[in-house]
Amino acid sequence: MAGADIKPKCMERAKKWSDEVENLYRFQQAGYRDEIEYKQVKHVDMVDRWPETGFVKKLQRRDNTFYYYNRQRECDDKEVHKVKVYAY
């Protein structure tokens, strides 16, 4: 699946926080739409995640620098409306 060029059909903004919105927030901070685009660009099969929460732990940006994330929630309520949720 990482090799296929999958494009989203539509996009909407997140309305309230959830685990999915938290992970999308982390991918979008690193410059990707979501996990699908990250896997396509970086040619990886798995994303590093915190075992306790399942949140993304580490992402590599397009310029090859790394973003490291905490175990706890990082997407504040005031940031939730900025997160884009894509449908495929």
User: Does residue 83 contact residue 75 with C-beta atoms inside 8 Å?
Assistant: yes
Per-residue pLDDT reduced to its tens digit, 12-60: 999 999 999 999 999 999 999 999 999 999 999 999 999 999 999 999 9
Distances (CA, A) of 42 to 3, 35, 54: 10, 10, 20
4 — pLDDT class (breaks 50, 70, 90): low
**pLDDT surpassing 80 at residue 3:** no
